[in-house]
Amino acid sequence: MAELTFIGAAGIVTGSKHLLTVGGKHILVDCGMFQGVASVTALNGLPLPVPADDIDAVIITHGHLDHVGYLPKLIHDGFSGPIFCTPPTVDVMEIVLDDSAHLQQELQERGFQHQRPYAPPMYYDQRDVDRTMKHVQPVAYHEPFDVVGALKATYFDAGHIIGSAFAGLEFEGKRVVFSGDLGRYDRPLLFDPEPMGAATDLICESTYANQVHPPEPTEALHQTLLAGIARGGAIVIPAFAVERSQDILLAIATLQAQDPQIANLPVHLDSPMAEKVDDVFERFPNAHRSVANDSQSTPFGIRDFTLHVTTEESKALNDVKGPHVIVSASGMASGGRILHHLHNNLGDAKATVIFPGYQSLGTLGYILTHSAKRVTLYNDTIPVAAAIVHLSGFSAHADRNELHRWLQTCTTTPHLYAVHGEAPSAAALAAMARGSFGWKADVAYRGTTVTL
């Protein structure tokens, strides 16, 4: 008999953490941080159902902060077992955790979070991150590995970000599948999610289970870039450093090759972290589709490309005149250099801001994409004069149709638990599993335990 406790990403989309207890052993599947509004991030301070030193192993599906961000805290609190993940995820995880420790340190020093003057708690520092990386055990897709006791697991490509996996856990005659975050089909950069195969139980993400993504994000971006050039100012694109920045740069490069009107539009990447992720793509050429690139010196062959690494190089963007693109992080404008560019451009009627991803409730990105007339940034109240555009088609998450397509690849009739979604989308996934497939299905609630 096995028990599964939903610790995070239950009823919300962050803090992915599922505790599997089999034969007295405790295994965490994902170990993410809660992100977003203060009432959600406060959940990071709650104790786990079992002490960290009682957890035997951690299985990581991919390197996003909401799936790995709590690992250094787990190590800090006494966890000493193996942390399994795919080889590209090792690299992505290190970039993400380094940045997280750095950001926590910075917020502490500045006493600043979401425009509020207080210092948020610091969960770990760089030393904890360095110790965490010593516990990592990389495992390739399709190679079954021993987790603990008789429990074995295998990773398969989930198509969400580079190195992302769904995991099949085998024990006591069961095969429990954890989807992690499921990606898209027919995307330019990543492979399709692999077929699921057999499952007795399926813990499945549901971020967009009640929505269908617009079909052509690249063409929508094209039109937005043309409109942005006509306005005459900066075109600011808040994008997550892990994957979204690469998707955006590839889309711009593709459009530039097709349309002389934007062929020479200068593109600035102001994200040292995104540049490091670009390197992961180069190190693992077999982990993504190959992309034609005439020029090896710029990402995907963008003609007029500038990378900004130092703070001085970032500040130099304030003086750039005329239409130009600035891609910077974070994607929900909840921190990072993008705040500086928004501070500089939101009040400018010539500027355009393009949000190409999911904006969670309470973030500056959410506020701006919901018609805010003015925002407060660095203690300044700024009237929003820039054009604000939300392009959801660039999502790295499967939509309703793509989730349905992936569920169809299951060869058995599992019991589905819907995780990683706000309440309406989690309910939509459970309803789909029952209605379209005749499976048992439940929405997972934080803190509840089910018997598998």
Which CA distances in Å does 354 have to 252, 383, 393?
13, 17, 12
What's the Cα-to-Cα distance from 94 to each of 8, 87, 132, 262, 281, rounded to whole Å? 22, 11, 9, 35, 15
Q: Which is nearer to Zn ion, 298 or 330 (CB)?
A: 330
Stretch that binds Zn ion, among 56-64, 102-110, 199-207, 213-221 (CB under 5 A): 56-64
Kindly list the strands in the beta sheet with 324-328, ordered across the sheet, starting from the edge strand earlier in the chain: 305-307, 267-270, 324-328, 234-238, 352-355, 387-390
Residue 58 and residue 74 in contact, taking contact as beta carbons nearer than 8 Å: yes
Minimum distance, C-beta of residue 41 to Zn ion, in the bound complex (Å): 17
Residue 205 near Zn ion by CB under 5 A: no
340 binds Zn ion (CB under 5 A): no
Closest distance to Zn ion from the beta carbon of 204 (Å): 14
User: Which residues in 365-404 contact Zn ion (CB under 5 A)?
Assistant: none
Provide, rounded to whole angstroms, the least separation between the CB of residue 262 and Zn ion.
30
Q: Which is nearer to Zn ion, 17 or 64 (CB)?
A: 64
Rounded Cα distance between 317 and 302, Å, is 18
Distance in Å, CB of 109 to Zn ion, minimum: 28
Minimum distance between the CB of residue 172 and Zn ion, rounded to whole angstroms? 29
User: Could you say whether residue 181 binds Zn ion (CB under 5 A)?
Assistant: yes
The count of chain residues that interact with Zn ion, using the rule CB under 5 A, is 2
User: Where does this chain touch Zn ion (CB under 5 A) — which range of 73-81, 99-107, 174-182, 329-337?
Assistant: 174-182
- Find out whether 182 and 158 touch, Cβ atoms under 8 Å: yes
Q: Would strands 234-238 and 352-355 be described as parallel, antiparallel, or unpaired?
A: parallel
Rounded least distance, CB 62 to Zn ion, Å: 6
Q: Are strands 17-22 and 201-205 parallel, antiparallel or unpaired?
A: unpaired
CB-CB contact of 430 with 400 (8 Å)? no
Does the footprint of Zn ion cover residue 288 (CB under 5 A)? Answer: no
> What is the Cα–Cα distance from 216 to 56, expressed in whole angstroms?
45
17, 25, 26, 64: which one binds Zn ion (CB under 5 A)? 64
Rounded Cα gap, residues 346 and 388, in angstroms: 9
Interface residue list for Zn ion (CB under 5 A): 64, 181
